[in-house]
Amino acid sequence: MIKKVLIANRGEIAIRVMRTCREMGITSVAVYSDADRKSMHVRYADEAYHIGPSPSNESYLHIDKIIDAAKKSKADAIHPGYGFLSENAEFSEQCKKEGIIFIGPSAFSISTMGDKITARRTILNAGVPVVPGTTDPIKSNDNAIEVIKEIGLPVMIKATAGGGGKGMRLVQNEKDILPSLRAAKSEAKAAFGNDIVYIEKYISSPHHIEFQILADRHSNVIHLFERECSVQRRHQKVIEETPSPIMNPAIRKEMGKHAVAVARAAKYEGAGTIEFIVDDNLNYYFLEMNTRLQVEHPITECVVGIDLVKEQINIANDKKLTYTQDELSQNGHAIECRIYAEDPDNNFMPSPGLIQHITEPLGFGVRHDGYIYEGYEIPLYYDPLISKLIVWGKTRQETIERMKRALYAYKITGIKTTIKFLERIMNTPDFVNGNYNTHFIEKNKKFLEEEYKNDGNGKAMAIIAAFIDYNNRIEQAQQKIPPSQKINNWKSSGRKKSMLRL
């Protein structure tokens, strides 16, 4: 049984993992770099070990230093959080060799899904829809031209070692094929030391919808429904919500089954996420699998009522899942806003510096996962994410109103943050009526550049109209479903689900 966990991470996620450790009676061990001597995760832990200089390569990404700290502290397990070493197959393997439990999947699962061509092959064999395209590396210029003739333009050229948007090129015209191929290859070579690419049909204006899965070591695999992650800026997610406004029960069930099949095909264990792109007609395609706990996991926790870190630890302890798929349901709605130390009015320039004042939002339905405090100086070495505001509500509309209330109450001075940008999104008709895809921020650029003021003008009316539009659309979608399967998204108060899970 795990008694002591070293958290190989920093910031909000390190603290989030420590919270669950404390609930489970597990001792937590922090590691920290020079820049993080005064970080909250160090104070929050039961013990802390210095692992080196500020640059990640010499600290949080340094496998030997982290394993050393685990040995020194006599930790029996390591939780990698997200980012850093969380999807590093070698790290998972090293831990195993040293007799330390890695709270995450095997090196095999990580490398199968980390190589996108291998992932596509694996998934295709499991009968899951993948984006039409190649399952072999592109061998030459002629090969690329030949393949694109078959698939038809537009296409995406993607690096097999890529993911999250790196080493990717959209090709719309024939004359751009070879230059784009070259660019994708050299970008991939520089970023990953591997220039192998594959080609996919381009799905225009997609939604990004992902499924959370849990797999134990006893062949039980379940999914915890979807997260809608289409609100993003330059491949960085800004807002996530669940349930997805475009989903219906039939598609949800189908995609959930496919998500479970992907996890089984990868011989997965622990918590993982299957990403799909979904077009306006609800055609969906596997995109990639993330073999880690994700930033946006709390919205699933709120709506499904399960502590995902607790499940990760139980699974690492060889325990069986204590519930089946049929026992899970989505209760209400949750939205996460990511707060970055960036200036939304200056092209999202990073804004590190000293926190002069912080007032965190509180109250019913509000969860705040952060790590900054007054007098703390945000270092420039790491991710600019400073906190996540997660809000739960009975209905989508209530959740949006509650999020606006929480954003209004959230004050940070000393640095620039994205709080006001998030408020503008909450007051954008396309968001309010759930009518958005991955182009949302681009499409609403003008709107999102202006300060929102509720002065009873046309803007305020447009938002009210958007709420009405959304509710009507949901009502109509529900009416197409046989009454036996109806789930009521905005009047769940009558159902026997009394526990609010936050």
Active site residues: 292
- Cβ proximity to ligand MV4: between 187 and 200 the closer is 200
The binder of ligand MV4 chosen from 105, 206, 384, 429 (CB under 6 A) = 206
Q: Which span sits near ligand MV4 by CB under 6 A: 112-120, 177-185, 203-211, 444-452? A: 203-211
131 touches ligand MV4 by CB under 6 A = yes
| Closest separation in Å from C-beta 426 to ligand MV4 | 20
The binder of ligand MV4 chosen from 6, 42, 156, 293 (CB under 6 A) = 156
Nearest to 378 by CA among 30, 11, 8: 11
| Closest separation in Å from C-beta 170 to ligand MV4 | 8
Q: Which span sits near ligand MV4 by CB under 6 A: 122-130, 196-204, 214-222, 487-495? A: 196-204
Q: Which two tokens stand for residue 349?
A: 């320039």
Nearest to 271 by CA among 82, 63, 121: 82
> How many C-alpha atoms does 385 have within 13 Å on its Cβ side?
22
Q: Which amino acid is present at 367?
A: R
Between β-strands 333-340 and 385-393, what pairing exists: parallel, antiparallel or unpaired? Answer: antiparallel
277 touches ligand MV4 by CB under 6 A = yes
203 touches ligand MV4 by CB under 6 A = yes
Query: What is the separation, in whole angstroms, between the first and last Cα of the chain?
Result: 27
| Closest separation in Å from C-beta 166 to ligand MV4 | 8
- Cβ proximity to ligand MV4: between 42 and 422 the closer is 422
| Closest separation in Å from C-beta 201 to ligand MV4 | 6
Q: Rounded to 10 degrees, what is the CA torsion of 97, 100, 102, 103?
A: 160
- Cβ proximity to ligand MV4: between 200 and 311 the closer is 200
Nearest to 405 by CA among 369, 454, 343, 341: 454
Q: Which two tokens stand for residue 415?
A: 């640095």
- Cβ proximity to ligand MV4: between 206 and 393 the closer is 206
Which residues ranging from 216 to 235 are in contact with ligand MV4 (CB under 6 A)?
232, 235
Count of C-beta atoms within a 10 Å radius of residue 303: 23
Task: Identify the helix (H) or strand (E) that includes residue 19.
Answer: helix 11-23
- Cβ proximity to ligand MV4: between 288 and 369 the closer is 288
Task: State how far the Cα of 422 lies from the Cα of 296, in Å rounded to an integer.
Answer: 16
Tally helices (H) and strands (E) across the chain.
17, 22
The binder of ligand MV4 chosen from 56, 438, 444, 489 (CB under 6 A) = 438
Count of C-beta atoms within a 10 Å radius of residue 278: 24
Q: Which span sits near ligand MV4 by CB under 6 A: 83-91, 159-167, 266-274, 494-502? A: 159-167
| Closest separation in Å from C-beta 344 to ligand MV4 | 19
| Closest separation in Å from C-beta 244 to ligand MV4 | 13
The binder of ligand MV4 chosen from 208, 227, 333, 402 (CB under 6 A) = 208
Total of residues contacting ligand MV4 (CB under 6 A): 17
Contact 10, 36 (CB under 8 A): yes
Q: Which two tokens stand for residue 93?
A: 């393997």
| Closest separation in Å from C-beta 203 to ligand MV4 | 4
164 touches ligand MV4 by CB under 6 A = yes
Task: State how far the Cα of 287 lies from the Cα of 285, in Å rounded to an integer.
Answer: 6
- Cβ proximity to ligand MV4: between 16 and 208 the closer is 208
Rounded to 5 degrees, what are φ and ψ at 384? -75, 5
Q: Which two tokens stand for residue 410?
A: 């959230």
Contact 237, 228 (CB under 8 A): no
165 touches ligand MV4 by CB under 6 A = yes
List Cβ neighbours of 464 (8 Å cut-off, separation of 6 or more). Answer: none
Which residues ranging from 166 to 185 are in contact with ligand MV4 (CB under 6 A)?
none
434 touches ligand MV4 by CB under 6 A = no
Q: Which span sits near ligand MV4 by CB under 6 A: 40-48, 79-87, 117-125, 160-168? A: 160-168
Nearest to 36 by CA among 355, 353, 358, 379: 379
200 touches ligand MV4 by CB under 6 A = yes
Distance of CA 26 to the CA centre of its chain: 26
The binder of ligand MV4 chosen from 123, 246, 287, 463 (CB under 6 A) = 287
434: left (phi > 0), else alpha (psi -120 to 50), else beta?
left
Contact string (CB under 6 A) for ligand MV4, positions 32-71, x = contact:
----------------------------------------
Contact 2, 29 (CB under 8 A): no
The binder of ligand MV4 chosen from 44, 84, 198, 202 (CB under 6 A) = 202
Contact 279, 206 (CB under 8 A): yes
Contact 371, 12 (CB under 8 A): yes
| Closest separation in Å from C-beta 239 to ligand MV4 | 12
Q: Which span sits near ligand MV4 by CB under 6 A: 197-205, 250-258, 371-379, 450-458? A: 197-205
Site of interaction with ligand MV4 (CB under 6 A): 131, 156, 163-165, 200-203, 206, 208, 232, 235, 277, 287-288, 438
